[in-house]
Amino acid sequence: MRLLSLRVNDFKNIKKEEICFSDGINIIYGDNAAGKTNILEAVFLFAAGKSFRGGKDKDFIRFGQDFSFFEIEFEDKNAKQKLGIRLEKNTKKQIFRNGAQILKLSEYLGLFRAVIFTPDHLNLVKGSPEGRRRFVDLAICQSFPRYVGTISQYNRTLVQKNALLKTKSFSPELLEVYNDKLSSLAAQITLNRKKYICLLQNEAATFLSDMTEGEENIRLEYNSQAGDRLEEAEVIRNSYRNLFRSKKEQEAQKGITLYGPHKDDFLIYINEKNARIFASQGQQRSAVLSLKLAEGELSKKLTGEYPVFLLDDILSELDSGRKKYILEKMAEKQVILTGCEKDFFAELDSKNKIYVEDGKCSCI
């Protein structure tokens, strides 16, 4: 998969720009707050349907403007395609494929795929469970677009159940309906996450062993409130049904759903020690590097082609050894990376260098 161009109108601090991308390494550089990360953010929205920074759609519209439109042209193994997004302050996001509007996000995700790596990802090991769940869910959605529908249904049902639990008196029968639906959706989510984590571990183990010359190994352990038997959907579904029934008084008292995959996590072990507790800073960075490289490799195996790699100011966060390793692994892949100093990229073989200043881009 190859990104050919990005056309932007009124996205954050970018007024109107068209950026062309080449094969191999593309470098975007400039001062802090110039708009470098905004470019990557616009690209990643086409892969994930949401920003890696968070925020609401209306926040992406350039200050003082009523709407934003941005578009990419890319090439996959089948053909060239265009995807566009139009954002308005008081209107739902509109998505276009080759000029025709797409109404379902599941029909959009997976067309363009990208792996994003930012300095925030270096907190993946010791950060919050929410961050690790988001990492896994976004990766699954790109390879299996229907998964986004499952996540959306679960979240909507969760909101409905929580609203019911907050009322002073509610129908036990309606609560049972919500619990039954949540159990089925939770089983699908848990099973997909468990399978993906197993595949991710296999890929990450190879990268980490290679990076550390066999000194370190990585193991991922998915922790679910449904228990340890996570190989069959029916078993997981029944486990959640029983859990909801046994804990309904506790949830009613708290006024919120206390159990489900929205509470799950996965643990990272390095040399069989919990990395969150025992890993050094260097080990954490190596583990995260291996996970992000594994994400890209797994995308290739599941879809037949590599995604586009977006590296946001990450090289300045790495020592020379890890920097060299990740660049070697990026060979023959399309990479778009950002940084502040042009000289920092002097040793990189890049056909395309883009300077950004106050949201304006120029090729150097």
Contact between residue 182 and residue 157 where contact means Cβ atoms under 8 Å apart? yes
Give the model's pLDDT for residue 247: 93
Which residue, among 196, 251, 255, 187, has the nearest Cα to 225 in the 3D structure?
A: 187
Burial of 338 by CB count in 10 Å (0-12 exposed, 13-18 middle, 19+ buried)?
Answer: buried
Give the model's pLDDT for residue 18: 94
Q: Report whether pLDDT(356) > 70.
A: yes
Name the segment(s) of the chain with CATH classification 3.40.50.300: 1-113+307-364
Which has more pLDDT, 124 or 340?
A: 124
CA-to-CA separations, 133 to 56, 194, 227, in angstroms, rounded: 20, 11, 17
Give the model's pLDDT for residue 363: 76
CA atoms within 13 A on the CB side of 327: 19
Which has more pLDDT, 322 or 16?
A: 16
Give the model's pLDDT for residue 9: 94
Q: Which whole number is the average pLDDT over 339-351?
A: 72
Q: Which CATH class is domain 120-303?
A: mainly alpha
The segment with the largest mean pLDDT, out of 79-93, 174-188, 317-331, is 174-188
Cα–Cα distance, 335 to 25 (Å, whole number): 5
In the chain, the amino acid numbered 74 is F
What percent of the chain has a predicted confidence (pLDDT) above 90? 63
**Confidence grade of residue 48 (pLDDT, cut at 50, 70, 90):** confident
Name the segment(s) of the chain with CATH classification 1.20.1050.90: 120-303
Q: Which CATH class is domain 1-113+307-364?
A: alpha beta
In this structure, of 68-77, 232-241, 280-289, 323-332, the range with the lowest mean pLDDT score is 323-332
**Residue reference for tokens 């029916």:** 234
Give the model's pLDDT for residue 342: 67
In this structure, of 34-38, 149-153, 351-355, the range with the lowest mean pLDDT score is 351-355
Q: Which whole number is the average pLDDT over 118-147?
A: 91
Contact between residue 182 and residue 161 where contact means Cβ atoms under 8 Å apart? yes
Q: Which two tokens stand for residue 348?
A: 């990189």
Contact between residue 305 and residue 124 where contact means Cβ atoms under 8 Å apart? no
Cα–Cα distance, 130 to 134 (Å, whole number): 6
CA-to-CA separations, 113 to 84, 101, 164, 226, in angstroms, rounded: 15, 19, 38, 31
Give the model's pLDDT for residue 231: 82
**Confidence grade of residue 59 (pLDDT, cut at 50, 70, 90):** confident
In the chain, the amino acid numbered 155 is N
Which residue, among 338, 315, 339, has the nearest Cα to 326 in the 3D structure?
A: 315
Contact between residue 345 and residue 336 where contact means Cβ atoms under 8 Å apart? no
Give the model's pLDDT for residue 255: 92
Q: Report whether pLDDT(6) > 90.
A: yes
Mean predicted lDDT score pLDDT of the chain: 90
CA-to-CA separations, 349 to 22, 26, 212, 345, 360, in angstroms, rounded: 12, 9, 25, 9, 24
Give the model's pLDDT for residue 343: 67
Give one DSSP letter per residue of 101-161, joined into a string. Answer: EE--GGGTTTSS-EEEE-GGGGGTTTS-HHHHHHHHHHHHHHH-THHHHHHHHHHHHHHHH
pLDDT (tens digit, 9 = 90+) per residue, 220-262?
A: 999 999 888 878 899 999 999 999 999 999 999 999 999 999 9
Give the model's pLDDT for residue 84: 95
